[in-house]
Structure 1
Amino acid sequence: MAIRKKSSKSPPVLSHEFVLQNHADIVSCVAMVFLLGLMFEITAKASIIFVTLQYNVTHPATEEQAAESVSLYHYGVKDLATVFFYMLVAIIIHAIIQEYVLDKINRRMHFSKTKHSKFNESGQLSAFYLFACVWGTFILISENYISDPTILWRAYPHNLMTFQMKFFYISQLAYWLHAFPELYFQKTKKEDIPRQLVYIGLYLFHIAGAYLLNLNHLGLVLLVLHYFVEFLFHISRLFYFSDEKYQKGFSLWAVLFVLGRLLTLILSVLTVGFGLARAENQKLDFSTGNFNVLAVRIAVLASICITQAFMMWKFINFQLRRWREHSTYQAPAIKKKPTVTKSRSSRKGTENGVNGTVTSNGADSPRNRKEKSS
């Protein structure tokens, strides 16, 4: 993300610079069109598809359950409209955090262009990861995922979701889709775009896969686990930018990153490889959303394992690069400084060189002259 340069002259309307400077206001106007459409009967039916969750199914109350009826949701094509609307909301929130939080901190800290870009990235992602992790944990607790882990595979397919569950997935898809136009709005450097596209694509692929294959229970647990580890990394990087001696957060993140990859593989194999493999209903049925067949299970496990291997490979390269930088930084400090005695002979030897070899640490060297003058 490049630094925005505010010019005194306003750019022409609908020009490239105008869109970049005012993209949040433009997107806000588009979102307001959908909200205003709810006020009129003619447009309400179309606007409600974008604003509210679709495909709800009301289950009547039973004697065993509470007196109130329960509304559950499944997915469909209309969810694309809802994802689009909340993608606009994500762009607006992104701009608010950037302008009212990150830009103010950047002006105080006076970061370089490289640090400015990384600080903005970590600031945005740490806010999102924290919010999503807390939200996901609340869903896990409220739906008894922690007390009963068998819910990950029991009663599959999980084609009916609670309001919180479906809204969580809609929000996740909307956020990662909004990252594509943000590459343009934030003037991302060309060399950074491939890296950004890779991890945005990986997020969308796995979140959409869990949503469409009715593996939303497993997907929620893995997302909360992954988001917590990523939040720790980006918050540690924010502290590192303010104090470059700060390394404790990265050390803790390195341990949790490896544990997170291990737990992801264990939960995936336990759910898909054992839980779903032993289920009675193993027939492909699009009407009920049952994808519990051998080919799908192999594809799911393969995609998860390949992604975890790719992340570990990137992690190892990152750690090796950090260790090299740390070793090169510590190398000059390890060298012993020459001791200077008060005798005349040693002073004369230092001036003319030791054993006939001219040294660069002589008493009359520019460095020592500077020390004497100070």
Structure 2
Amino acid sequence: CSVKGVVHSVKINRKMHFSKTKHSKFNESGQLSAFYLFSFGWGTSILMSENFLSNPVSLWDGYPHTLMPFQMKLYFISQMGYWLHTLPEIYFQKTKKEDIPRQLVYIALYLVHIAGAYILNLNRLALVLLVLHYFTELLFHVSRLVYFSNDKRQTGFTVWAVLFVLGRLLTLSLSVLTVGFGLSNADQQGLNLANGNFNVLSVRIAVLATICVTQAFMMWKFINFQLRRWREQAQPLKPKKPQAPKTKSKKDKANGVNGVSSNGADSPRAKKEKSS
């Protein structure tokens, strides 16, 4: 899936003649949009088949959710496998040094959240939040691909901005509802590694704190992105400052003053005055 996205983006890049920076971003959006589309569709089909959306209580009811359908288990394994495979890709794709820290940060965030939810048996909540997050990310990268083809088409960024903020609010609401209220009132309390039960206060606080910090970090990046876009849009609209009248330099004064040059020859202005 990722290989096809890269090949397709390279073909388009040859036609559009992008710079190196735009070439890198275009390839990144082409690969990630294909992955997000596939993951979003697959995750949505699991949610519909397991009736998680129609019955929100199932997100915490019956915890620990140690028994997962094969399709759901394969989904989480494939997600962790994809983000693990992006680590050597950073080297093989010869990513710029200044872009490496940014990519390492979001790869680490994906791995920590997906693997953490899988280990703590919070797979139902994680599946809902992943599908929600992948939808907003898909919209962003598709909007960026459209923007690179025509920089006047920025409607997608506006729609993405609204859905991004709503997605962060919905993520926090579902997390607090499931971990803060649902699991705290569940029948099975206490730490039991054999049964996969991690329903203790310290673990619940750690999970909520991790989710809140991640959402705050994403909002901070989002605000910086919006400010940078607004500055870029406002820059060509700034009125040009009127230029100050040029003053005569010392060389000009030496060559001619009041129409008479220093070598005694008359300037065009002096000749005109004599003829009149």
> Does structure 1 residue 170 correspond to structure 2 residue 77?
yes
Distance 1:208 1:173 in 2: 7
- 1:280 deviation in Å? 1.8
3-state secondary structure, aligned to 2:40: helix
- 1:97 CA displacement: 3.1
How far did residue 106 of structure 1 move?
Answer: 1.3
Q: Is this contact kept in 1: 2:37–2:138, CA < 8 A? A: yes
Quote the RMSD (CA, aligned, Å): 1.8
Q: Which runs of 5+ in 1 are unaligned?
A: 1-92, 339-352, 359-374
2:136 and 2:164 in contact (8 A); partners too: yes
Number of residue pairs the alignment of both structures matches: 247
Q: Is residue 2:259 matched to residue 1:259?
A: no
Give a deviation string over 1:204-236, Cα, whole Å, max 9, x none.
Answer: 000001100000000000000000000000000
* 1:144 to 2:51 alignment: yes
Is 1:286 paired with 2:193? yes
Give 1:267 shift. Answer: 0.1
Alpha-carbon distance in structure 2 between the residues aligned to 1:96 and 1:261: 31
Q: Does 1:225 align with 2:142?
A: no
1:277 corresponds to which of 179, 184, 197: 184
The separation in 2 between residues aligned to 1:94 and 1:315, in whole angstroms, is 25
| Identity %, equivalent residues | 71
How many angstroms apart in 2 are the aligned matches of 1:307 and 1:170? 22
1:98 corresponds in structure 2 to: 6
TM-score of the pair, normalised by structure 2? 0.86
Offset, 1:96: 3.7
Query: Which residue of 1 is the match for residue 232 of structure 2?
Result: 325
1:312 to 189, 206, 219: 219
CA distance in structure 2 between the aligned counterparts of 1:148 and 1:318, rounded to whole angstroms: 36
SS at match of 1:277: helix
Structure 1 stretches of 4+ with a deviation exceeding 6 A read: none
Offset of 1:357 from its aligned partner?
A: 5.1
Q: Distance in 1 between matches of 2:192 and 2:179?
A: 17
> Hey, what's the Cα distance between the residues in 1 that align with 2:234 and 2:55?
47
Counterpart of 1:260 in structure 2: which amino acid?
G
Higher relative contact order (CA 8 A, sep 6+): 2
Letter in structure 2 aligned against 1:277: S
Are the aligned partners of 2:136 and 2:160 in contact in 1 as well (CA < 8 Å)?
A: yes
Q: Deviations over 1:323-368 (max 9, x none)?
A: 1111112214xx69x9xxxxxxxxxxxxxx9xx956xxxxxxxxxx
Q: Partner residue of 2:265?
A: none
The separation in 2 between residues aligned to 1:158 and 1:188, in whole angstroms, is 39
Matched with 1:6 is none
Q: Per-residue CA shift, 1:293-324, capped at 9, x if unaligned?
A: 00000000000000000000111111111111
Structure 1 length-normalised TM: 0.64
Q: What is aligned with 1:80?
A: none
Rounded to whole Å, the distance in 1 between the matches of 2:72 and 2:212 is 25
* Separation of aligned partners in 1, 2:25 and 2:236: 21
Distance in 2 separating the partners of 1:314 and 1:258: 12
User: Secondary structure of the residue that 2:199 maps to in structure 1?
Assistant: coil
Q: Are residues 1:194 and 2:98 paired?
A: no
Q: Find the aligned partners of 2:162 and 2:2 in 1 and give their Cα distance.
A: 30
Match of 1:189, SS state, is coil
CA distance in 2: counterparts of 1:107 and 1:177, whole angstroms: 29
- Greater helix proportion: 2
- Equivalent residue runs for 1:80-159 within 5 Å: 93-99=1-7, 101-159=8-66
- Quick one: which amino acid aligns to residue 44 of structure 2? T
Of stretches 266-275 and 323-332 in structure 1, the one that deviates more from structure 2 is 323-332
2:90 pairs, out of 183, 187, 200, with: 183
C-alpha change, 1:154 and 1:178, in structure 2 (3 Å) is same
Counterpart of 1:325 in structure 2: which amino acid? E
Give distance in 1, aligned partners of 2:32 and 2:84: 14
Aligned equivalents of 1:316, 1:102: Cα separation in 2: 28
* CA-CA distance at 1:95 after TM superposition: 2.9
Equivalent of residue 302 in structure 1, options 194, 209, 231: 209
The structure with the largest alpha-carbon Rg is: 2
* d(CA) in 2 for partners of 1:304, 1:159: 22
Alpha-carbon distance between aligned partners in 1 of 2:168 and 2:237, rounded to the nearest angstrom: 31
**Secondary structure class of the residue paired with 2:64:** coil
1:67 aligns with none
- Specify the alignment match of 2:271 in structure 1: none
Partner of residue 151, structure 2: 244
Contact map agreement 2:90 2:100 (CA 8 A) in 1: yes
Q: Say which SS state the counterpart of residue 291 (structure 1) adopts.
A: strand
Structure 2: distance between partners of 1:357 and 1:281: 83
Q: Which residue of 2 aligns with 1:210?
A: 117
Structure 2: gaps of 5 or more residues: 247-276
